[in-house]
Structure 1
Amino acid sequence: MEKITAAYRKINLADWKRKEHFSVYRSQMKCSFSLTTKIDIAKMLPFLKENGYKFYPVMIYLITRAVNKHEAFKMAMKEGELIVWDCVNPIYTVLHSETETFSALTALYEEDFKKFMANYNVVEERYADNLHFFPEQPPENHFNISALPWINFDSFNLHIADFTDYFAPSFTIGKYQKQADEILMPIAIQVHHAVCDGIHVAQLIATLEEYCKNIETIIKSQV
């Protein structure tokens, strides 16, 4: 991947409404938290099947679109200062079935669905036979997505030994399952408490639920 200088905005901590919370959870009581919920994708699946779209890249697109709508999920430390990236890109895992290992790839985010899928397809083809953990250096402005398509889980937690000043959120999606009139997909979200609270996770989940429900309108308006 060609190195691209990502744009960002510095946070003025002196005037920031969360400056005390940031200080406590960054230094005094280092803390992350995770939350697992289930999202109804019943309206999404028929649309994907009808149009020949693969589930995983579309879900990556929807999660990335939701993340980029909410400032709390785009924060990082850069040169000793807290910043908000203008845009963040997904690092997502892809399984190599022959070795039962995975690679972490990045497709640069575009709000336009067709452009994002073009980026995704280029990356998929370029690294189809590359078994390295990171076939290319990921961009600074990133967050993480992984998938456990074999398990319908109720809870999932990542245990990161040292997450000091690493504010990029991590999302893990699981095997979806039919329940009454709903098709529920588990999704686990892990964040650093220095930059993100429960209310922010709730807002992001609401956005993602809206996107899954209205996917036909979102995509057909762009292609």
Structure 2
Amino acid sequence: MTELNTHATPIDQTTWARREYFYYFTKMMPTGFTLNVDMDITATKAWLTKHDRKFNPAYLYLVTKLITKHPEFRVGQVDGQLVEYDVLHPSYSTFHGDDLTISNLWTAYDPSFEQFHQNYLADQATYGDQHTPMPKAPQGANTYMIGSIPWTHFNSYTPLPFTPLNTFFPVIQAGRFTFKDGQWLMPLSFTIHHAVADGYHVSQFFNELQRVFDHPELWLTA
């Protein structure tokens, strides 16, 4: 089992490049935004089928691993101090078919896909059948929301927080796959606070993630 990494580095706001933007988008015009795209997951889906691995843990792993390369998506707060976490850990929903409810789980990120896959399966085995909102107690502040709605191929998905934000992590949601012109397409929604990222950063993330999905052998076997 992976040791949970909760390490964070304080952000020096006197030299932080986004200092003025952070102030503007939190104090003067509090703003967030969502981008939705269709991702081509054909190559990744084929690789996982060939290697007898599940798609959901691969999806969680690939997105989380890419987030480790983007510091703007790992900004949190500890006692009012802005920090940059080394990594984020995916927090996701598990669906209960018997009573149509969900439970929220999280799995510790590991740089190795095989280890992360084992962590995910262990969490499912331990907590997956517990019908309660949060069967696995939180152990760190650096979990982020990522999930899927496998029943709907959406064009747009926007989460609506009803409480003040304690972190500035992204919220990511996937939808139902569709097969079109020889490609498997997955809608993906990315929501972020404008204080830490702009449309450029999210666009770059989507472009990089598409390259990841196109070459799973480079990311799932490293």
Deviation at 1:25, TM superposition (A): 0.9
1:141 maps to 2:142: yes
User: 1:193 aligns to what?
Assistant: 194
Distance in 2 (CA, whole Å) between partners of 1:3 and 1:212 is: 27
Change (3 A) 1:159 1:166: same
What is the CA distance between 1:164 and its match in structure 2?
3.2
**For residue 105 of structure 2, what is the aligned residue in structure 1?**
105
Q: Distance in 2 between matches of 1:27 and 1:66?
A: 30
Contact 2:2 2:119 in 1 (8 A): no
Return the alpha-carbon distance in structure 2 between the equivalents of residues 19 and 162 of structure 1. 23
Question: Scaled by the length of structure 2, what TM-score is found?
Answer: 0.94
CA deviations over 1:59-96 (Å, ceiling 9, x no partner): 11111111111101111011111110011100011101
* Shift in alpha-carbon separation, 1:164–1:45, aligned structure 2, 3 A: closer
Letter paired with 1:210: R
TM-score, scaled to structure 1 = 0.93
Note the C-alpha offset of 1:179: 2.0
Residue 166 of structure 1 contacts residue 192 of structure 1 at CA under 8 Å; is this kept in 2?
A: no
Residue 166 of structure 1 and its aligned partner are, at CA, apart by: 2.9
| 1:133 Cα offset (Å) | 0.9
- Report sequence identity in percent: 28
Instruction: Letter of the 1:208 partner, please give it.
Output: L
SS in 2 for 1:34: strand
> Residues 38-187 of structure 1 correspond to what in structure 2 (within 5 A)?
38-138=38-138, 139-187=140-188
What are the Cα deviations for residues 30-51 of structure 1, in whole angstroms up to 9, with x where unaligned? 1111111111111111111111
Shift of 1:162: 2.6
CA–CA distance in structure 2, aligned partners of residues 101 and 114 of structure 1: 29
- Contact 2:127–2:136 under 8 Å retained in 1: no
Deviation at 1:3, TM superposition (A): 9.6
Contact 2:103 2:135 in 1 (8 A): yes
Q: Residue 153 of structure 1 aligns to which amino acid in structure 2?
A: F
Mapped partners of 2:119, 2:88: distance in 1: 15
CA distance in 2: counterparts of 1:46 and 1:76, whole angstroms: 36
Q: Is the 8 A contact 1:6 1:85 kept in 2?
A: yes
How many residue pairs end up in the alignment? 221
In angstroms, what is the RMSD of aligned CA positions?
1.8
Letter in 2 for 1:214: H
Give 3-state SS (helix, strand or coil) of 2:42's partner. coil
Contact residue 38 and residue 186 of structure 1 kept, 8 A: yes
Q: Which amino acid aligns with 1:9?
A: T
Counterparts of 2:2 and 2:107, CA distance in 1: 12
